[in-house]
Structures are given as C-alpha cells and as structure tokens.
Amino acid sequence: MKVLHIPYGSPMIDLCHALQKQGIKATACHFTSNRYQFQPDICLNLERLSTEDREQRLSAFLDQAIKEYDIFHFHFGESFFPDKRDLEQIKKAGKKMVMHHHGSDVRIFSIARKMNPYIRVKPEWTEKKIRENLDILSKYIDHAFVQDYELYAYIQPYYKEIHVIPHTLDVNQILPTYPEVKQAPLVVHAPTRRDLKGTDHIVKAVNQLKHEGLQFHFQLIEGLTYEQTKELLAQADIVIDQLRIGAYGYVSTEAMAFGKPVICYLRRDVMKKYPSGLPIVNADPGNIKKILKELITSPHEWKELGIRGRQYVEQNHSQEAVAKQYIHIYKKL
C-alpha cells in the first residue's frame, strides 16, 4: 500500500512517519517550502517557478503519482489544483482518495457562533468558499478525517463517512521536562494567527497581572522555526494555546508531551467527547486573567498537570495507536 499525502503541514509529516513505522509506504509531499523549516519527504518548491512552469510541474507530478500511489490523502481541503480538476482524473484512474480537514478550511462561522461566542475565522476562508469547496470535494471523495468533534459538525452534511482520529506525535522524540516550583515561572504563548488564538486577551491579562505585582516571565513565540519553537516549549513552565476556537490543537499536544501544564479554551460539548483524563486548564477571553493567576500561584499543581498531560498524549496521540486507525480505514476504501 502506497499513500501520497499533499500539499503541506507538519501534522501531515508526523502522520506519514507514524504510517511508515507500521509498514505503510507513505510519502509527505509539500508543494512549497515553508518558513518553519518542516522536513517533508518531498518538496516541489513551486514558489521558485513561474505560473506556467508550476502548472506543468504539478501536471507531470500528478501523472507520475497516479502510476505510483494507491491512495491520495489530501489535507486542508486542497488537492493538486485549485479548481480540483485532478480529482476526476484520479478517480477515473481507479485510485482511492481521502480528505483530511484541519480547521479553518471547514470552520463555518454561522455554525460555529451558535456554539461558541468567542469564535473567529480566517477571513480568506469565507462561508461561500468553504461550502463550494466541500461540494466539489465530496462529489469525488467519500471519506473525510478530522481530529476532533469541533470540526465534525461543519462537514457532516457533505461526506458519506467521517472519521474522528487525533493527530499524532512522536512522543519518543520529546523528552518531558516537568516544571519545578519556582519564584517566577516562564509562561509562553505560540500564536500562528493572533486574532484566531485570542492573543490580545492573553497579552492584556499578562500585563495586568504584572502590573499587580505577580512575578512571572512571559514570551510570545512568533516567527521562529519549528525547532526553535520546540526549544521554548521545553523551557516553559506554563503554556497557553488558544482562547477562541474551542478545541485543543498541535501546540497543546506538544506542550503536554513536554510535560507542561496547558491553558486552552475547550467548548463544553467538545470537551465531553475527548478521551478521559485530559488535564488541560480551560480558560476563555473573559476569565483568562483569573485562570492564569490561579495557575501561576499554584506551583504545586504544575508538575502533576504536566505528568497527566504526558500520559494523556502517550495514550491518545502515540504514533502506533493513531496510525493503526488510519490503516484500518485505508483498507476499507
């Protein structure tokens, strides 16, 4: 079984590594290079080409991939071409396809705001664009993957089968460093998009707590490589993920793997569907100051939360456990 994953993303690379360890010939292919310096199996570096040359390069790669791969595993609502004309070609060739949605590519604001007053969406992913994209994708693709039930509702009307499988992480490559009791802990926050993550509310709470005399250090992690980000997560005592989306993401998972207590906003209905034992401290834009102060002033809880978080990731995000779920689906296609 040979599976091609495109077109970008660190979760895609980690999933391919997990599948490879289970004997699946999975290839992670990025269409362009990235500022985070992620390392896929293949990178086409399309950003170096003219528009015409880019089309030719993709067409040639698609033709070769159809000959070589059995399954095409797309990510972020994308395929080879923006107009999705490749889907018909792949289907006619008798190849299998699945779509993996990760967040903003399906987060429909009119649905999300009914369950989440804090939600923000990427303006470039309009509701019209998302619905039109899902209409095209589901015409050719029956199976879709999401990492949690926050995303499930947006795509439920479109695909024949939806599989909720947590993203994976190679926990063996992450050495936990549990926080010890100290006078001034280091709190970090790593936003990819400030508005989506509620960064302004976090910075405001930090400034107010410091003005009130609470002793701690704070660092925003922005514009760094993936390796530099991981180094800061390893050094942190407390990690704040996001306050608006309503589900935990990759930053929370990595922080828990490093053995750190994590603050993140979880919608109550979504939280009930996670596996038991999730130790994330729930906070939203309205109470982040209170929650952060309580955690900073409870140093005896840091290590316990860190240990529980590490255990949770080992149980639910391990490469073996996650890869086997995907392989089970692949075999049914």
Sign, CA torsion 187/191/196/199: positive
Is 109 in contact with 63 (CB distance < 8 Å)?
no
Q: In this structure, are 214 and 308 located in the same domain?
A: yes
**Integer Cα distance of 213 and 209 in angstroms:** 7
Residue 327 and residue 292 share a domain: no
* CA angle in degrees (0–180, nearest 5) for 188-7-4: 120
Note the pLDDT tens digit of each residue in 174-217: 999 999 999 999 999 988 888 889 999 999 999 999 999 999 99
pTM of whole model > 0.85? Answer: yes
Q: Indicate if the pLDDT at residue 295 is higher than 70.
A: yes
Domain match, 301 and 258 both: yes
Same domain assignment for residues 146 and 177? no
Domain of residue 286 covers 172-316
Note the pLDDT of residue 38: 77
Same domain, 233 and 216: yes
19 and 163 inside one domain:
yes
Do 120 and 214 belong together in one domain? no
Do 235 and 176 contact (CB within 8 A), yes or no?
no
Q: Residue 227: its pLDDT value, please? A: 86
Task: Summarize pLDDT for 60-74 with one digit per residue, the tens.
Answer: 999 999 999 999 999
Q: How many Å apart are CA 260 and CA 70, to the nearest integer?
A: 40
What contacts 132, CB < 8 A, 6 or more positions away?
none
Same domain, 187 and 291: yes
Domain check: are 158 and 207 in the same one?
Answer: no
Reported as a pLDDT band with limits 50, 70 and 90, residue 36 is: low
Range name among 29-43, 104-118, 127-141 with the lowest pLDDT average: 29-43
- What is the rounded average pLDDT for all residues in the chain? 95
For the chain, the domain total comes to: 2
- What is the distance between the alpha carbons of residues 26 and 19, in angstroms, rounded to a whole number? 6
> Residues of the chain with pLDDT > 70: what percent?
100
- Does residue 154 sit in the same domain as residue 67? yes
* Domain at 160, CATH number: 3.40.50.2000
Residues 98 and 178 in one domain: no
Tokens of 32: 């362009």
- Per residue in 263-290, pLDDT (tens digit) is 999 999 999 999 999 999 999 999 999 9
CA–CA gap between residue 247 and residue 249 (Å, rounded): 7
Residues 240 and 273 in one domain: yes
Q: What is the mean pLDDT of residues 98-123?
A: 95
* Rounded-to-integer distance, Cα 177 and Cα 235, Å: 8
